[in-house]
Amino acid sequence: MSTVCVVGLGYIGLPVASMLASRGHNVVGYDVNPKAVDSVNKGQAHFFEPDLDMLLKAAVSTERLRASTTVVEADYFVIAVPTPFRADHQPDLSYVDAATQSIAPFLKVGSTVVLESTSPVGTTERIATQLASARPDLRFPTYKDTAGDYDIAIAHCPERILPGQMVKELVTNDRIIGGVTEKCSRAAAELYGSFVSAKMFITDCRTAEFVKLIENSYRDVNIAFANELSVICDKLDIDVWAAIELANRHPRVSILRPGAGVGGHCIAVDPWFIVSTAPEESRIIRAAREINDAKPHWVARQIIQHADRFKNPIVGCFGATYKPDVEDMRESPSLEVIKLLAAHGDIRVIVCDPMVKELPRELSGVNNISMASIDETCHQSDIAALLVGHRQFQQINPNRFLNKIVVDTIGLLAKPSM
């Protein structure tokens, strides 16, 4: 069993740290946020993810996992910090750089550094270069170098788990492991082999970085296609859900679902990392991002057009999270719709979301926004904006919408066409 220092106890780092501990490794989770550290040490996750609390509690109570605000010496360092983009859509690598600097003093001969954070191509090599300059006493690998001998292995093993199913997918998803050299890949595979039951595919770090980015871009492009269809269908007075369902009867067609837009910290972000490195060439990828980003604005315009027919319109927004059955509101398109509606001062907006206890600060103090139960929202609203397909919304009796204008962005009330 190894000692592992997981850098960053967020949405990815915490499940990974808990999983590693459950497989018998001695894990220290490092985070700069003392609140997150305290809560982890009490065995409590600071965000909701099914089955995570159970795994974490067991890891802490067996003392295989402890959280700390300081890094420790370890056999493995797993970096799982955010990689957002800046206002100009250029990647912000400041968290990865800070993580790299924080582990540098604690490397020892034989340590392996694994980057899990989704990152632009070249980031794993950037870590190697930065560590080499911080630790001139140690030897570091260079890209695809087979001859060189070195003390530290460095690899990228991009996270692939789906929020809502993270604990299961950590074990069952195939993994891509891209070392700076093949020897580095093998060192990382050793650690991941202790909990991954699926296949592990070895490649180089640049390919691994690119593979992760194209996985999410693939999904973004396909969702953009579905969103574009919904706008076209609206213009042509065609039921988009029926059209997609019928098209998907073709054996080689599988169109995704339109919605209020694309949110979360992955699919709405990662494609920009490709666009930023190849701006001229990334034409579909950029267009997809723009189409998906425009969708909440289109949805809000539709609702406002209906609302203008009422004297004191009340719009019930069903859903505020970025997707069904999670409590995460990061980059949420439904939240964007809510903001745009509220900015139209004449509309009263009622938000209903059983996954959300309170709205983000910038919205909770706004006069014309309030939160209400499903029942009250159905009862009070003139217009029902169906924005997120939570399980609880699927159980609403469709008759409750009969006397309202319904803007159904997610096909909640779509009738099967066959």
Site residues for ligand SAJ per CB under 6 A: 118, 159-163, 215-216, 219, 223, 256-257, 259, 262-264, 266-267, 322-323
Dihedral angle, C-alpha 267, 274, 92, 364, nearest 10 °: -30
- Indicate the residue among 267 and 352 with the shorter CB distance to ligand SAJ: 267
317 assigned to active site = no
And the tokens for 49? 């993810």
- Indicate the residue among 256 and 366 with the shorter CB distance to ligand SAJ: 256
- Indicate the residue among 25 and 212 with the shorter CB distance to ligand SAJ: 212
> How do 112-115 and 76-79 pair as beta strands?
parallel
- Indicate the residue among 179 and 271 with the shorter CB distance to ligand SAJ: 271
- Indicate the residue among 71 and 99 with the shorter CB distance to ligand SAJ: 99
Rounded to the nearest whole angstrom, what is the least distance from the CB of residue 308 to ligand SAJ in the complex?
A: 27
Rounded to the nearest whole angstrom, what is the least distance from the CB of residue 353 to ligand SAJ in the complex?
A: 14
378 assigned to active site = no
Strands of the sheet containing 405-408, edge to edge, are 369-371, 348-352, 314-318, 383-386, 405-408
Name, in order, each residue with C-beta under 8 angstroms of 302's C-beta and a sequence gap of 6 or more: 234, 407
- Greatest Cα-to-Cα distance within the chain, rounded to the nearest angstrom: 76
Rounded to the nearest whole angstrom, what is the least distance from the CB of residue 110 to ligand SAJ in the complex?
A: 30
Q: Which one of 184, 205, 212, 339 is the catalytic residue?
A: 212
Rounded to the nearest whole angstrom, what is the least distance from the CB of residue 349 to ligand SAJ in the complex?
A: 20
Rounded to the nearest whole angstrom, what is the least distance from the CB of residue 166 to ligand SAJ in the complex?
A: 8
- Indicate the residue among 109 and 253 with the shorter CB distance to ligand SAJ: 253
Q: Which one of 266, 317, 352, 378 is the catalytic residue?
A: 266
Picking from 12, 193, 210, the residue whose alpha carbon sits closest to that of residue 124 is 210
Rounded to the nearest whole angstrom, what is the least distance from the CB of residue 1 to ligand SAJ in the complex?
A: 27
- The rounded distance, in Å, linking the Cα atoms of 257 and 208 is 28
| Catalytic residue numbers, as ranges | 212, 266
